[in-house]
Amino acid sequence: MSAAPKHLYLHVPFCTGRCAYCAFVSGPPSANPADYVETLLCEAAARGFPSLGPLETLYCGGGTPALLGEHGFVRLRESGLLSLADDAEWTVELHPAAVTAPLVRTLASLGVTRLSLGVQAFDDATLIRCNRRHTVRQALEAIEIARAAVPDTGIDLIAGLPGVSPDEWTRTLRRTVALGLPHVSVYALSIEPESAWGRSGMAPPDPDRLCDAVAEAADTLPAAGLRRYETSNYARPGLECRHNLNTWRGGDYLGLGRGAASRLGLLRRHGDGTEELLSPEEDALERALTRLRLAEGFDLDATLARFPILAPYRGRWASRLADFRAHGLLAADNAPTLRGYEVLDAMERELLR
């Protein structure tokens, strides 16, 4: 068993409905959603972690974690499962329709430091097509309520949603900028087979229009002070999501709850509960190449010093990184350019060949 992890992801699989693009594990809450905390406690104990901490980061995702309710979050904090470091980052995802002033005040009192609201679009017709179950007005009110209790409140947007014209996307980005948020995530729409849109046979978004939408976000948000620090994430300096940075830098993390993945040493646990034991080389390759997503750049010398088993890759990687720079895919520090972000998967495949 690995040492107790410093980074924990808690999955709350409750939702009042399923968004049209969603393929995550989720379902209606039980009669008393707070009882789910006991499920998490039992799972942690069964996996050899009756208590955790001090945690550096804690991320509660879903589903709709707000459906745990104030009582559920209090039970979680007082359960003995986790303790937080003095400077810990605790993020909770919230659906705009579930945001209330009492809930966010409770979260703040328990130690929550970040909130992430799934806004996705600033157009009511688009939200209806997505089955989001909130309106633009509700989203704006939720942002205001959340920020009053937890100033580090950000939002998620989705680029490439059906029916969204370039002009509407521009308005969405301008409205986002006007809010002065510390963190914005912009995810490119993919049509997952298990989603309602996937089952209906909906075609994926036009790749050129999707790239244009992502590129516009990459221009608009940094101009407003939100630095693109990862392929889908923008933040004001110092307000990047530390939990996700740990993952992209190849760190360990424990996931608890139905649908949560983990990475502990050579053990990778998938969201469906299946596990696989990676070889040391497979593990090192995966952890090393994840850093390509980050704007901080891919330091070849530091990577090979961290993972000596990858030393045989030095010559090949140095050559291919030079090719990527020559073709404008990487900057001088091996950070992705705008074009590089668009072809990250292809670059990773080239480094694995």
- CA dihedral over 178, 120, 11, 241, signed as positive or negative: negative
Q: Do 79 and 194 fall within a single domain?
A: yes
The pLDDT value given to residue 2: 57
Q: Is residue 269 part of a domain?
A: no
Beta strands at 254-256 and 262-264: parallel, antiparallel or unpaired = unpaired
Euclidean distance between CA atoms 103 and 92, whole angstroms: 11
Same domain, 346 and 240: no
Give the pLDDT score at 31: 76
CATH no. for residue 126? Answer: 3.20.20.70
Confirm if 22 and 161 have CB atoms less than 8 A apart: no
164 domain-assigned = yes
- Pairwise CA distance, residues 289 & 125, whole Å: 39
Residues ≥6 apart with Cβ < 8 Å to 198: 23, 191, 192
DSSP letters for 237-256: TT-S-HHHHHHHTT--BEEE
Q: Summarize pLDDT for 65-77 with one digit per residue, the tens.
A: 999 999 999 999 9
Stretches where the chain sits below pLDDT 50 are 1
From the CA atom positions of the chain, what is the Rg in Å?
Answer: 20
- The alpha helices in the chain, defined as continuous H runs, are 36-46, 69-78, 101-110, 124-129, 136-149, 166-179, 196-199, 207-223, 242-248, 280-289, 300-306, 314-326, 338-342, 344-352
What would you measure as the largest C-alpha separation in the chain, in angstroms? 59
pTM for the whole structure: 0.96
Domain annotation covers residue 268: no
Residue matched to tokens 């990577």? 303
pLDDT, residue 24, reads 83
Name the nearest CA neighbour of 153 among 140, 138, 135, 165.
140
Number of domains in the chain: 2
Instruction: Note whether residue 323 is domain-resident.
Output: yes
> In terms of domains, do 132 and 64 share one?
yes
> Residue 335: which domain range?
279-352
